[in-house]
Amino acid sequence: MTQPWQVIESVDTDEGVLELRRRGKTDYLITIAGRVLMNSFANRSEILLSKLACNAIDNLNGPKVLIGGLGMGYTLKAALDILPVDASVVIAELNPIIVEWCRGPIAHLTDGSVDDPRVSVEITDVAAAIKNAAMGSEEKKYDAIILDLYEGPLEAARERFDHLYGNAALKLSLAALTQGGVFAVWSEDPDRAFERRLGNAGFTFDRRKSGKGMSRHIVYIAKKSG
């Protein structure tokens, strides 16, 4: 008999109630307004996204990485498993409760990755972090930017996501990267319009499916040439 989900903690947000749920000893969900944002038993695409991005910069000394969205920490853990000890990783996360959960009831899922000495957490919109890097000095730029958000570029048709995946946003992401830097994006499905915008912004890119079958997610690995 399947065990019921139990609510561990919840908090009100502008988008609805954000909840951490547990079933048994190993299964966890994070939901918002009843919609599943992420879970502990299906994270193949997040891990692939991070691995591909970090493998592309593994020849650098002291690489700097920006990750948009902490989630349950799987993207971060995959990055830390590849990056050297002198790397620095900035996590841009909107909800401080997510950080608290990753340091508390779900810390064991990723061996407490959020407290790795290479990691710093900023409670901010990743778009703001990208803009700051784009407008700043060369020292502020990143070798990789990884967007692992629960809504990908297919949502860019909705005006509220233009600041992440629209034409102007992609040009800022390009400017926020060092030469040869990597811009990695999780997507629900292939998005031809997004691919055109990537090319127009100046990126070259590869599209990868995270697994077999029809309903697998997509990861985009784009590079700043030059």
Residues 78 and 20 in one domain: no
HEC sequence for 39-103: ECCCCHHHHHHHHHHHHCCCCCCCCEEEEECCCCCHHHHHHHHHCCCCCEEEEEECCHHHHHHHH
Written as six digits, the tokens of 72 are: 């349950």
pLDDT at 6: 94
pLDDT digits (tens, 9 = 90+) for 71-93: 999 999 999 999 999 999 999 99
Residues 30 and 126 in one domain: no
Residues 61 and 31 in one domain: no
CA dihedral 4, 5, 6, 9 (to 10 degrees): -170
Amino acid at 128: A
Helices 167-175, 126-135: axis angle to 10 degrees equals: 50
Structure confidence at residue 190 as a pLDDT band (50, 70, 90): confident
Report the run of H or E that residue 205 belongs to, with start and end.
Answer: strand 203-209
Q: Which of 39-43, 66-70, 81-85, 178-182 has the lowest average pLDDT? A: 39-43
Residues 84 and 23 in one domain: no
Residue 212 has pLDDT above 50, yes or no: no
Residues 118 and 143 in one domain: yes
Residues 107 and 15 in one domain: no
Residues 128 and 220 in one domain: yes
Per-residue pLDDT averaged across 9-16, rounded?
92
Structure confidence at residue 211 as a pLDDT band (50, 70, 90): low
Written as six digits, the tokens of 30 are: 């994070």
pLDDT at 24: 87
Range of the domain at 128: 43-224
User: Can you give the pTM of this predicted structure?
Assistant: 0.93
Residues 14 and 116 in one domain: no
Residues 31 and 70 in one domain: no
State the Cα angle at 178 between 176 and 180, rounded to 5°.
125
Structure confidence at residue 107 as a pLDDT band (50, 70, 90): very high
Residues 89 and 11 in one domain: no
pLDDT digits (tens, 9 = 90+) for 123-180: 999 999 999 999 999 999 999 999 998 888 876 555 656 889 999 999 999 999 999 9
Residues 117 and 137 in one domain: yes
